[in-house]
Structure 1
């Protein structure tokens, strides 16, 4: 297997990236994958992956973190998933009627989620969360949505209207979404009080990589929703199959009315799901006398390949312990990175933090403030040493040797980082412009 490293440069990747910018707005189909999220001139265009390793168009090999925006927990090219996919593919992908695979996949899914009676499959996380909003509005007769101050819930107007990159979203739509703070019940109480009884639902992640729910917080959110007649919607896109195959709701013991799933449930294959109580979900079905909700209706939601991939993922979690492996490897990585930072005297500036299965790294400037230039420098030096990632989000495919390589690369990167701290800035060390927030209002400071 190739030794991770990027000694061949990025000429071919850079040429392909320039062409992408001519063909695709933003040069990528996901803003988080954009070249403005990587050091300038060092945005690899990938051609294949195996386990936790990826290769770019120039032949560089990297140990990857982030793993498909957290969608891959078992590793790229995981054989049992591929075998299931190949078998399904040979029998046809999409039909004009449901397949038996839809029955089996739904049974598999609902066996994992105790609070859900029905499920509907789709392709994108936004499909599921937006369907949950529509359903909550139909159930309650209300328009407003309270969302937790967590990074991302949907590409649709109800959420994008509440972020900085909201051009094109009507003002009236923007005003229908309000925010509250995680682990702050008073902030949610205030939103309910201000809304005049118009909040249809509360949308949140039960936990994030950096924030565990404080004792009683989720229970308090559940109680506030019940008291005000609002639905509680858990976004399990990241927590599902990374905290547990049954999601964060099982880990923390609080059941939502609806939950939205995606990412790792297909180990990279495109599948998402909306699940919930029967009396709610059936409003989008045929066993109701109420006005019907257009819940989800997708051509590709039930295609066989992704459903087969999902069923293989369920078997992998039943037969093994991917979450436990991620927790152990993540802990090993955090210990190694943080030890290196401490020994080099930069522990106040760079650290691996968060849940071991979903870690990020901090990058601070000489004044201790979070810094995009220093983040870019750190990523640049990791890339030069064969480590690709905007985070330290790990998978069950990362071996001890992969972690050791990452720690060694981090140690060398931190030596450059320390010199930049001593220099008072990154100017002498950073090639090109720093990365910029993905959801910003203007293309600058990384305008082409």
Structure 2
């Protein structure tokens, strides 16, 4: 059993100073077994250490933002060189041009790019641009988990207190009929979606059908490449599936953990936020820290790493090894119908089901608890290129031990005698209960 005494003390103090005890809901202590949410102090490669001295192999890697590993030296060195000469200025730097050239060289479907600091800013800028370009207000979003912290999206979630109603409608993934119906019923400014997710690949013709429907109805097509960019391929899902959107939004892995995002797209739309238009100008993105030198240098080093090494191939290989090993361990214990690793190899999740075969937060929490005790930290099994064969083997061994406890709970019909503390709860929920502090 691991000791989390200092982590728990710091977490309690965080609740006094930071709403929710974390700056991202997905990082909150309610997403981990109670009293077992480590407060981290450093990381190297795929390993992290907490303030109690515990060492973990980490998965998820900064909410999928770190693909090359924590402290990846070429990125750190590039950032160090850049910030030594200043971080923020009153005029553009040459670095902004170089970074834009690098970006557009790996996203050939885009003509222009504008950098920002977080994904929500980029995605909301895409919505604003589409509304200006079309003169319409309604946004059609795919039934996928998350697009932005801004009102137009959060109004559609259970956590919508204090937010006015929004002109946002939904359609189904791999369901062209549902999208067609939305486009026929509403004057839609843009169709916003992830081209693929960990659990869902586009059926043949689906993305091409979305493109055609957008063209037919005069709506812009926006791909959210926050997760798929630099994980499915350097050029994102649009490179993999061969469908070019009008606009696309990027973030996460493009900085290997450094804060950078981007809005990219066709010149005819992007210029509406520039100085080469006679139309009413769009307040597109105007951020103090968007051109900050450290993050742009990190991005350029990431592009170089992707051009000279094979992080995507490594993630695919590591993910396949992990999924095969954990699923074999579950099968060995005859619980493969209750505990399973699924998804794209570079973006894996684990499913946890109760004795009746229903998805279970209680059983998920038990599995997380046992993984933490075995030195594995992660709400998923999202790998990085830093996960070595040895790291994966160690994780599989830990999962076998955790799965043995999981089997005990299945045989007993309950986690009650094995789980310590309350189960985890969905990050996006209306009330603090069932994990109210």
The TM-score range, normalised by the shorter chain, is over 0.9
Matched, 1:214 2:203: yes
State the distance in 2 between where 1:127 and 1:232 align: 18
Q: Match for residue 403 of structure 1?
A: 392
State the distance in 1 between where 2:162 and 2:359 align: 30
Q: Match for residue 61 of structure 1?
A: 55
Q: Match for residue 4 of structure 1?
A: none
Q: Match for residue 332 of structure 1?
A: 321
State the distance in 2 between where 1:46 and 1:112 align: 34
Q: CA deviation at 1:277?
A: 0.4
The answer on whether the counterparts of 1:350 and 1:361 sit within 8 Å (CA) in structure 2 is yes
Instruction: Provide structure 1 residue ranges, at least 5 long, that are not aligned to the other structure.
Output: 1-6
Q: Aligned Cα RMSD in Å? A: 0.5
Matched, 1:185 2:176: yes
Matched, 1:378 2:372: no
State the distance in 1 between where 2:376 and 2:169 align: 38
Q: Match for residue 113 of structure 1?
A: 107
Report matched runs for 1:156-305 at 5 Å: 156-171=150-165, 173=166, 176-195=167-186, 198-305=187-294
State the distance in 2 between where 1:82 and 1:445 align: 41
Q: CA deviation at 1:8?
A: 4.2
Q: Match for residue 3 of structure 1?
A: none
State the distance in 2 between where 1:221 and 1:169 align: 30
Deviation string, structure 1 residues 77-112 (Cα, Å, up to 9, x no partner): 000001100100110000000000000000000001
Q: Indicate how the Cα distance of structure 1 residues 233 and 221 shifts in structure 2: closer, same or farther if over 3 A, else same.
A: same
Matched, 1:96 2:87: no
Matched residue SS, 1:419: helix
Q: Match for residue 415 of structure 2?
A: 426
Matched, 1:445 2:397: no
State the distance in 2 between where 1:425 and 1:120 align: 52
Instruction: Provide structure 2 residue ranges, at least 5 long, that are not aligned to the other structure.
Output: none
State the distance in 2 between where 1:181 and 1:39 align: 33
The answer on whether the counterparts of 1:8 and 1:59 sit within 8 Å (CA) in structure 2 is no
Q: CA deviation at 1:194?
A: 2.0
Q: CA deviation at 1:370?
A: 0.6
Matched residue SS, 1:412: helix
- Runs of 4+ off more than 2 Å: none
Matched residue SS, 2:136: coil
Matched residue SS, 2:425: coil
State the distance in 1 between where 2:53 and 2:350 align: 27
State the distance in 1 between where 2:2 and 2:147 align: 38
Matched residue SS, 1:152: coil
Q: Match for residue 321 of structure 1?
A: 310
State the distance in 1 between where 2:172 and 2:366 align: 31
The answer on whether the counterparts of 2:144 and 2:193 sit within 8 Å (CA) in structure 1 is yes
1:368 to 347, 357, 378: 357
Matched residue SS, 1:351: strand
Matched residue SS, 1:308: helix
Q: Match for residue 35 of structure 2?
A: 41
Deviation string, structure 1 residues 143-164 (Cα, Å, up to 9, x no partner): 0000001110000000000111
State the distance in 2 between where 1:83 and 1:260 align: 27
Matched residue SS, 1:334: helix
